[in-house]
Each structure stands twice: as structure tokens, then as C-alpha cells.
């Protein structure tokens, strides 16, 4: 008798391959596989989305920290400028009993460079 | 229960269920379709997060050295104390703990928070970080610290009237802050996201970055400005004057090196200035006009020399007075100087001699020449409140107008205008456009630099040299002796102007002393105008403005390490 085959699959979802056990995929199995795939996809999406959110929050937090450090730096810079202000220097000079220069004598003769 | 009864009960149950479902569907339709916008808004208000990010206002700086700048106006993070009275558990205790930290009495704080409101204006603004930290440590319920950027001026009163200030709404007023408000002001940005029920950020959304304002670099020299302010304050005290101004310019570029005024104020505490004292916000160097008196004489003399009408050595005999129309014009001390050279006319500040020179110039010659020197025209500086004084139109001139204007009466100018006019004499006869803003640097570092601009030649180089020598003679032999600096050639002219009464005529007991000049004469690098208003301890400018000029010039020459251009006596 000549066996009748239709590609790899035969009627009733029975796979007839020489030397292999026949596997049958029913309607329930298809649904389960579909559901599992969907679940995996959903999980992947949630994981990725959650990871992206976490990264964004990390970036946000790092940026906040950077802002805070910039603010600290600005504050220190301002304090430095306050200490360099001419009023502060004048007061310090008075406290240190420094005297302003009364006259300057240049070593170069008048008119020369 | 038979089948019919069961069927009946089931139908009732289904009907009730159907009705409930219908009402739910109706409600859902109402919320999602009819009230869609409002529903979305309500939902967003619960989870949406939006934070406004303020752009920093640009700094106003001056060059510190070749590579760095020093901020005269900058920003500092400070804090506001906000209180939500409804959320406070123990108001008495909160008031007690907060009061001393924010500089208020316990009762004042209690009166403000003793209500059930959700919002009241901030209890205190501009608190420093240290105070904010101490308040935060108290962990008071219903008390919130809100950061804010405030404008601060690290040099306190230095160049206050040049800088102006930023008011409570963040708007620049007066000075550079007011004139360049849009350039200095940054643009706000925002950040969006989603928050959970506890207000914690759970997702970050869009972000529009805030844009900082541009940095404005001034041509002011901080040290010279400071010294000029100090010297002016000392002069006002010593000569018992009401007020005063000092303008210092670089004649080669037109850059303003110092604009000192007294009295002044602290822009960090601009709101402490009494309302009747608000004129102190104005910059009198740019906006206060006065009849300049004798410092106008060298300008008129330069016009006559330039036209070849006189030379410094030209001689003429002058009486103590001269009659013009129906008026008699006298010398300052009603003294006849007799035979004088034109240089001596300036040395003696001879009004009668100047009337003679004005006659030679004629109305057109004097009017056109003074116009070229910028008299009667507001200097173009892109700043508000820069005024141009007053000079009558040519059609209103008669012999008396020409005569009085030649010695600085019947015309008004500002100290800046006189500095510009003298700059032209110092800069080989070429007048430069004055400027205060040297550079503007935007957020991306793009630089817009002010290029020195020639306004035109007002007198020849030869005339400029001749005038330099004549003005030097005024300092060596004339009324300007106190402006001399040992080892340096200094040229200048005193001016003792009478003060005009609002109803006409002049006050007998008030005057304004001024001195305008430049140095070192071999290569003039600085032009300075000193004006002392109503000094009561001295009668003439040679004893008030001239010594102040000399003191500042001496210091500048040492500070800038400019070599002497004349052998020491």
C-alpha cells in the first residue's frame, strides 16, 4: 500500500514522520501556548518599562544631586567673592593696621618705558 | 419554591442588576464622554507632576584680570518659610519655635498662623541656608521651606546707581538691571512626570530646560570705582557738601571706568530706602543736570583756537566787567585781569575774556561747535535716564546767550556730558561714543562685544595739543593747583557754578564746585569730572573739587603703575 502524506502533517494533527513519536496539539494546548507567550511578552514589557522608569528615576536623582552640588559650589563661590570684596579687604586692612602707600617712586626715569 | 416563583425572582434580580448596570453605564458615559475634560483634569491633578524650573538671572560682572570676572550682581539660593495653618497641630508651639529663627516676635507669627487657611503668604523670605537648615531640623508639621533664587550684590553699595536692583517680582529696576532686564532675565523651563498617592515621583516625563540669562560685563574698574566712591564720600564730609559725583572715562575708547555718586544706597536692601529718598536710585552722573560754569570755558576756547581766531599766546586787555545788551558781566571776584594771554584767560577763569572770545566765534560758531561737543544732546548709551541737559535753540540766541554760555551759564549738562566733551580734547580731538557695557555673554558662551566707536572729530589734533598745554597751565599756575599730581602732567579746569533758583535767578549761598581734566597729558588715559554739590566749608571749586580730583588721579596713576611723564620737583 502506498502511504498518503500531505507535507509534514497529516489529517487529525497527527504528524507522521518516520522514526519519531507522533505529537498531537489540541485546541487547549494552542490557547495555553498563546497565553504563555502573551504573559511572557507582557512580563518582558513590564520589566523593560520598569527598568526604563528606574533608570529615568536614577538619572533624575543623579541630576538632583548634581544640582545640589552645583548650588553648593555656587554658594562657596559667592562666599569667596564676598571675602574678596573691597569692603571686606578694607576692613581687614584696618584690623591688620595696614597703611596705604603715600607715594610711589619709579626706578625708570620720567618719560622712559 | 416552584419553577414559576423561581423564574419570577430571577427576572426581578436581573432587572435590578440591569438597572444598576445601566446606572453605572450612564455614570461612566457622563464621566468619560460628557465631562471628559474635567475628569481627565481631576485625574491628572492626582498623579501628574510638573515642576517649574527657574532660569538664573545673568550676572553683572567686571573684569578682575585678563581671565576672570568679579560679580557685582549675582544670584544666591535662599529660602522662604511657607506655612499651611490648617495642617499645624500646635500653633502656639510652632510660633514659639519659628519666631526667633525668622526674626519675628512669637505673637506676630501666632497672629499670622492662627487660622484654618490652606494658604497664607510666606512668613519670611530670603532666609539663608543656615537658618533654613535649623528650621528643617525642627520638623514642624505644616511648615514648608521653599527654595528661591535672590539677587545679591557682593560689593554692597559699590556702583549701586550703576547696577540698579531687582524687585520682589524679579524685575530689574534702574541702572543696568532695569535697562538690560530682558537680556539678564532667564527663561523658565519645566519638568513633568507622574507621582504616586504619597506624592513620590514614579515616572519622569517631558523636560524643557530653563534658559539662564546673559552675563553683562561692564567697563567699570572695580578698584577705581571703589576708590572714587571713598574719595567722594570723604570730600562730601570734609567740605560739608550735600552730594557729589565723579565720572572717569577712558578717552581712547569711550569706556566708562567709574561712575561714583554720593549719597548712595545698598541694592541688597533697596526696600529700606525711605519713600521720600527714592531719588537716590537715580544715577546723578547720567541724569542730574547743572549749569557747569567755568569748566565749559576750555570747550569754547578750543572752538576759537580750532577756527584760528586765537592762539594760546594771543594777548588782549580785559576789564573787570563787560556790558552785553543791558546786562553787566563781571569776573568772578570783580577784579580786572588787564593784559592776558588766552592761556591766562583760562588760568584766571576770566569771564570777561571768555565773552570776548565768544564774540569772535559768533552765535553760529559757538552753537555749532558746542553741539559737536555733545552739549544739549543726550549721550547714546542704551540706558534709561541718560539725559542731555539743555542748550537753547540757535533761533533763541542773542549776544547775552552767547556770552553767558561761554562761561557755562544759561546752559545745562550732566557730569557724563562734560566727561565726553573733555574726552574729545584728550583724544587728539576725536570724540568717542561712551559705553558702560563692554560685553554680553549669552548662556551658550556667545560673545557680543562693544567696539569703541568714533563719533567724529570735533577739533584738530593740533588744537587738542594746544588745549592740553593750556589746561596744564591752569593746574600749574591757575586755580587748578590742588589737582596737580607730583611727577605727572595733569590738565584741567575748575568750575564754581551758581545754583539756579526754581523761580529764576541764582542763590547767593549755594554753589556747585567742579573740576574736569585729564592725565597724564603726554598720553591721556583718564578723563575725570568731579562735582561737589553745595560745599559749605569752602567757596570755590579750587578748594573742593580740585583736591578731590588730585587725590583720585594720584591714586589711579599709582594703582595703574603709569610712569611719571614729568621730572619730580
The closest of B241, B243, B347 to B285, measured between CA atoms, is B243
Which of B157, B233, B553, B564 to mutate: most A Cβ within 10 Å?
B564
User: B567: nearest CA in chain A?
Assistant: A110
Q: Between A60 and B454, whose confidence is greater?
A: B454
Looking at the predicted structure, is the pLDDT value of residue B418 above 60? yes
Which chain B residues touch A if contact means CB-CB below 8 Å? 70-71, 74-77, 129, 152, 154-156, 158, 193, 201-204, 222-223, 226, 486-487, 522, 558, 561, 563-568
Cross-chain CB nearest to A75 (options B77, B202, B564): B77
Residues of B in contact with A53 (CB under 8 A): 202-204
Looking at the predicted structure, is the pLDDT value of residue B92 above 60? yes
B76/A60 touch (CB, cutoff 8 Å), yes or no:
no
Shortest CA gap B227–chain A (Å): 10
Q: Any chain B CB within 8 A of the CB of A85?
A: yes
B155/A87 touch (CB, cutoff 8 Å), yes or no:
yes
At B131, is the pLDDT very low, low, confident or very high (cuts 50, 70, 90)? very high
Average pLDDT over every residue of B190-218:
84
Please write down the HEC assignment for all residues of B294-329. HHHHHHHHHHHHHCCCCCCCCEEEECCEEEECCEEE
C-alpha cell at A17: 514522520
At A14, is the pLDDT very low, low, confident or very high (cuts 50, 70, 90)? low
Q: 3-state class of A68 per DSSP?
A: helix
Average pLDDT over every residue of A12-41:
75
Q: Residue B205 has what pLDDT? A: 80
C-alpha cell at A26: 489540541
Helix spans in B119-219 (H): 129-138, 160-163, 175-179, 181-184
Q: What is the mean pLDDT of chain B?
A: 92
Looking at the predicted structure, is the pLDDT value of residue B40 above 90? no
Q: For B489-530, what is each residue's pLDDT tens digit?
A: 999 999 988 888 888 888 888 899 999 999 999 999 999 999
Q: Residue A109 has what pLDDT? A: 56
Shortest CA gap A7–chain B (Å): 52
Average pLDDT over every residue of A59-83:
89
Gap between the Cα atoms of B500 and B511, Å rounded: 9
User: B155: nearest CA in chain A?
Assistant: A85
Q: Report DSSP state, residue B413.
A: B
Which of A70, A77, A86, A93 to mutate: most B Cβ within 10 Å?
A86
Distance of CA B522 to the CA centre of its chain: 32
Q: For B468-486, what is each residue's pLDDT tens digit?
A: 999 999 999 988 899 999 9
Shortest CA gap A75–chain B (Å): 7
Residue B45: CA count within 13 A, CB half-sphere? 6
Distance of CA B218 to the CA centre of its chain: 11
The closest of B355, B301, B354, B304 to B327, measured between CA atoms, is B355
Cross-chain CB nearest to A110 (options B74, B154, B564): B564
Whether the CB-CB separation of B136 and B98 falls below 8 Å is answered with no
Residue B440: CA count within 13 A, CB half-sphere? 17
Which ipTM value was assigned to this complex?
0.71
Q: Report DSSP state, residue B458.
A: S
Looking at the predicted structure, is the pLDDT value of residue A2 above 50? no
Q: For B347-398, what is each residue's pLDDT tens digit?
A: 999 999 999 999 999 999 999 999 999 999 999 988 878 999 999 999 999 9
CB under 8 A, 24+ apart: contacts of B228-232: B228/B258, B228/B260, B228/B552, B229/B157, B229/B158, B229/B159, B229/B260, B229/B262, B229/B264, B231/B548, B231/B551, B231/B552, B231/B555, B232/B260, B232/B261, B232/B262, B232/B530, B232/B548
Q: Between B527 and B84, whose confidence is greater?
A: B527
Shortest CA gap B373–chain A (Å): 31
Q: Residue A62 has what pLDDT? A: 92
A113/B204 touch (CB, cutoff 8 Å), yes or no:
no
Burial (CB count within 10 angstroms: exposed 0-12, middle 13-18, buried 19+), residue B566: middle
Distances, alpha carbon B84 to alpha carbons B106, B129, B147, B163, in Å: 17, 21, 16, 37
At A23, is the pLDDT very low, low, confident or very high (cuts 50, 70, 90)? low
Residues of B in contact with A108 (CB under 8 A): 563
Residues of A in contact with B55 (CB under 8 A): none
Residues of B in contact with A57 (CB under 8 A): 201-204
Q: Residue A10 has what pLDDT? A: 46
Q: For B422-463, what is each residue's pLDDT tens digit?
A: 999 999 999 999 999 999 999 888 889 999 999 999 999 999
B67-103 as b/e: b if 16+ CB within 10 A: eebbbbbbbbbbbbbbbebeebeebeebbebbbebbe
Looking at the predicted structure, is the pLDDT value of residue A4 above 60? no
Q: Residue A110 has what pLDDT? A: 54
Looking at the predicted structure, is the pLDDT value of residue B565 above 90? no
The closest of B450, B447, B458 to B383, measured between CA atoms, is B450
What is the Rg, in whole angstroms, of the alpha carbon atoms belonging to chain A? 43
Average pLDDT over every residue of B126-133:
90
Percent of chain B topping pLDDT 70: 99
Q: Between B53 and B376, whose confidence is greater?
A: B376
Distances, alpha carbon B281 to alpha carbons B152, B176, B242, B292, B526, in Å: 16, 12, 16, 23, 27
Q: Residue B299 has what pLDDT? A: 97
Shortest CA gap B176–chain A (Å): 20
Q: Residue A113 has what pLDDT? A: 47
Full-model pTM: 0.82
Q: How many CB pairs under 8 A join A and B?
A: 64
Amino acid at each position: 500500500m502506498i502511504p498518503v502524506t500531505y507535507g509534514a502533517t497529516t489529517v487529525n494533527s497527527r504528524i507522521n514522520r518516520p522514526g519519531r513519536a507522533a505529537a498531537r496539539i489540541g485546541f487547549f494546548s494552542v490557547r495555553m501556548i498563546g497565553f504563555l507567550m502573551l504573559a511572557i511578552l507582557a512580563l518582558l514589557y513590564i520589566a523593560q518599562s520598569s527598568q526604563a522608569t528606574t533608570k529615568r528615576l536614577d538619572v533624575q536623582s543623579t541630576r538632583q544631586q548634581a544640582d545640589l552640588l552645583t548650588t553648593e559650589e555656587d554658594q562657596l563661590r559667592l562666599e569667596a567673592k564676598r571675602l574678596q570684596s573691597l569692603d571686606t579687604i578694607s576692613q581687614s586692612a584696618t584690623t591688620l593696621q595696614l597703611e596705604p602707600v603715600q607715594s610711589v617712586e619709579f626706578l625708570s626715569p620720567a618719560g622712559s618705558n | 419554591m416552584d419553577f414559576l416563583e423561581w423564574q419570577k425572582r430571577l427576572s426581578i434580580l436581573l432587572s435590578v442588576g440591569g438597572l444598576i448596570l445601566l446606572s453605572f453605564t450612564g455614570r461612566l458615559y457622563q464621566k468619560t464622554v460628557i465631562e471628559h475634560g474635567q475628569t481627565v483634569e481631576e485625574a491628572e491633578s492626582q498623579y501628574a507632576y510638573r515642576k517649574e524650573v527657574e532660569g538664573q538671572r545673568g550676572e553683572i560682572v567686571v573684569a578682575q584680570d585678563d581671565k576672570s570676572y568679579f560679580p557685582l550682581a549675582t544670584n544666591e539660593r535662599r529660602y522662604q518659610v511657607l506655612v499651611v495653618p490648617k495642617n499645624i497641630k500646635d500653633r502656639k508651639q510652632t510660633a514659639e519655635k519659628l519666631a526667633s529663627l525668622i526674626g519675628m516676635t512669637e505673637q506676630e507669627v501666632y497672629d499670622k498662623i492662627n487660622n484654618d487657611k490652606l494658604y497664607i503668604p510666606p512668613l519670611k523670605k530670603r532666609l539663608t541656608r543656615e537658618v533654613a537648615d535649623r528650621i528643617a531640623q525642627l520638623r514642624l508639621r505644616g511648615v514648608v521651606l521653599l527654595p528661591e533664587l535672590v539677587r545679591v550684590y557682593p560689593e554692597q553699595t559699590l556702583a549701586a546707581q550703576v547696577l540698579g536692583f531687582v524687585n520682589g517680582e524679579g524685575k530689574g529696576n534702574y541702572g543696568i538691571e532695569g535697562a538690560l532686564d530682558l537680556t539678564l532675565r532667564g527663561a523658565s523651563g519645566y519638568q513633568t512626570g507622574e507621582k504616586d498617592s504619597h506624592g513620590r515621583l514614579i515616572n519622569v516625563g517631558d523636560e524643557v530646560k530653563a534658559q539662564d540669562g546673559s552675563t553683562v560685563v561692564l567697563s567699570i574698574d572695580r578698584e577705581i570705582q571703589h576708590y572714587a566712591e571713598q574719595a567722594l564720600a570723604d570730600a562730601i564730609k570734609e567740605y560739608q557738601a550735600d552730594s557729589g559725583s565723579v565720572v572717569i572715562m577712558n578717552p581712547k575708547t569711550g569706556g566708562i571706568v567709574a561712575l561714583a555718586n554720593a549719597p548712595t544706597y545698598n541694592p541688597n536692601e533697596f526696600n529700606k530706602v525711605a519713600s521720600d529718598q527714592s531719588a537716590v536710585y537715580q544715577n546723578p552722573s547720567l541724569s542730574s543736570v547743572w549749569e557747569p560754569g567755568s569748566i565749559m570755558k576750555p570747550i569754547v576756547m578750543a572752538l576759537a583756537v580750532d577756527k584760528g581766531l586765537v592762539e594760546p599766546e594771543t594777548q588782549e586787555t580785559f576789564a573787570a566787567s563787560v556790558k552785553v545788551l543791558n546786562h553787566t558781566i563781571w569776573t568772578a571776584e570783580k577784579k580786572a585781569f588787564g593784559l592776558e594771554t588766552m592761556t591766562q584767560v583760562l588760568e584766571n577763569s576770566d569771564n570777561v575774556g571768555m565773552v570776548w572770545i565768544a564774540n569772535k566765534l559768533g552765535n553760529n560758531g559757538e552753537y555749532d561747535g558746542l553741539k559737536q561737543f555733545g552739549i544739549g544732546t543726550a549721550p547714546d548709551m542704551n540706558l534709561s535716564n541718560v539725559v542731555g541737559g539743555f542748550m537753547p535753540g540757535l533761533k533763541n540766541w542773542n549776544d547775552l546767550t552767547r556770552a553767558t554760555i561761554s562761561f557755562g551759564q544759561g546752559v545745562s549738562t550732566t557730569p557724563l556730558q562734560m566727561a565726553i566733551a573733555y574726552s574729545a580734547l584728550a583724544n587728539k580731538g576725536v570724540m568717542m561714543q561712551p559705553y558702560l557695557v563692554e560685553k554680553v555673554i549669552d548662556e551658550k558662551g556667545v560673545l557680543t562685544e562693544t567696539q569703541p566707536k568714533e563719533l567724529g572729530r570735533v577739533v584738530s589734533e593740533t588744537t587738542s595739543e594746544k588745549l592740553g598745554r593750556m589746561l596744564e597751565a591752569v593746574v600749574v599756575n591757575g586755580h587748578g593747583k590742588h589737582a596737580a599730581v607730583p611727577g605727572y602732567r595733569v590738565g584741567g579746569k575748575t568750575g564754581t557754578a551758581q545754583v539756579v533758583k526754581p523761580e529764576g535767578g541764582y542763590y547767593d549761598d549755594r554753589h556747585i564746585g567742579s573740576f574736569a581734566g585729564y592725565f597724564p597729558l603726554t598720553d591721556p588715559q583718564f578723563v575725570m569730572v568731579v562735582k561737589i554739590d553745595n560745599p559749605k566749608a569752602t567757596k570755590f571749586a579750587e578748594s573742593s573739587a580740585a583736591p578731590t580730583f588730585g587725590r583720585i588721579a594720584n591714586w589711579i596713576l599709582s594703582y595703574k603703575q603709569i610712569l611719571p611723564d614729568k621730572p619730580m620737583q
